[in-house]
Amino acid sequence: MAMGDKARNPPHWRPISRFPGNVDSPAPSAWVDVKVGACSRRGPSRAVNDDHYLVLRLGRHQETLLTSLPFDGVPSRFDEFAYGMVVADGMGQRAETASRLAITTLAHQMVHFGKWNLRVDEPVANDIIDRAHRFFKNIDAALLDAANGNPAGLQTTLTAVFSAGNDLVFAYVGDSSVFLFRDGTLMPLTRDLSVAYAPSPGPSGDVAAGAPDPTYVESETLGGTGLRRPRAGVERVGLLDGDLILLCTNGLTDVVGESRIAETLRLHSTPDDQCRALADLAAASGSRDDVTTVAAHYHIAADPGTDDAVHQP
C-alpha cells in the first residue's frame, strides 16, 4: 500500500515573495512519501485472531476552484498528510472484543477530538503527547465500561504511532512493540512497562507460600481489573529519509530475536513482503500466538522547495 503527499507545490509554481512579520504557525511539514504493509495471522492454538490493526492517513488541502490570476500565480492544489498506525493484542476471555474496541475507540476520538496537527514544532508536539495520554485514558475507561462488571474485564495492549513530516510520536501500553530500522540497524523504541511483583510472605513466613510464582510479572494492559490504572508511555523521535517503522505484537517478539527481525527486513524490499516474511518466521520459530506486523517505509525530501519534493500517491 503506497500513501504519499500529492503534488502540493507543482514545479511550475513558486512563491513570489516572503511573508512579512512573524508567522504564527510552524512551516509546512516535510514532503513525505510513505509505503505501508501489514499482515495479521491467527495462531495455530487460537480459535480466533485476537489481534487487530489500523493504518490511517490524515490530511488537509487547499484547492483553487476559480481565479482571475495567472495559472502560475497561486497553487492549484496544496496537500498535507499525516499517518497513523495502530496494533492491539487482546487478552483473556473476550480478547478479540477488547482489541477491536480499543482501536475503534481511538479512531472515533481522533475524528471527534483530534486537532489534525500536520505541522509539528515543540508546542504542537507537546499537545500531541498530552492528547495521546488523554486518548489512552479514555480507551481504558471505555473498556472498563464495556466489561460491565465482568471480573475478567476487557484487556488489551495498544500501540500507536503518529507521524507528520519527519516527526513521529509513539504511544503504548503493553508488550506490542515499535521498532525503528535505520541504515540496516534495528532499534527498539518501546520499553517493557510490565509490572513485577515482589513475593510476599505467607502466613508461616514462607515467601513461596505467599506467591505461587516468585518471578511473577504482570503485563500492563488497558482495561485491566486492578485498582492501579495504566499510564501510556508516550515519546517522540525524528525520522530520516529511508527509515522504516515496524509495529508488531508479541507473537513475533516472544520467539524471534531482534537480529533475525533485522535480517528479515534486509532480505525483503517491500513492506508487504517484510510483514509476511516476519509472520512466516514467527510460525517457523514455534509461535503459538497470533502475529501482527505493520511496516512503513518513509521517503522524506530534504528540501520542500525542490522538484524532488513533488510526489504522487
Residue type, 166: N
**Half-sphere exposure of residue 65, counting CA atoms within 13 Å on the CB side?**
1
What pLDDT is recorded for position 29? 64
Closest CA to 299 of 246, 237, 243, 247: 243
Residue range 270-285, pLDDT digits in tens:
999 999 999 999 999 9
What pLDDT is recorded for position 306? 41
For 28-116, strand residue ranges (E) read 32-41, 51-63, 77-91
For range 134-153, the mean pLDDT: 90
Which of the residue ranges 34-48, 113-127, 135-149, 172-186 would you say has the lowest mean pLDDT? 113-127
Beta-carbon count within 10 A of 271 CB: 25
Residue range 149-202, pLDDT digits in tens:
777 789 999 999 999 999 999 999 999 999 999 999 999 999 876 655 444 444
Q: Are 79 and 6 in contact (CB under 8 A)?
A: yes
184: alpha, beta or left? (left if phi > 0; alpha if psi -120 to 50): left
Alpha-carbon distances, residue 214 vs 177, 192, 203, 208, 224 (angstroms): 26, 19, 16, 7, 21
Q: Are 217 and 196 in contact (CB under 8 A)?
A: yes
**Which domains, ranges and CATH numbers included, belong to the chain?**
2-8+29-63+75-302 (3.60.40.10)
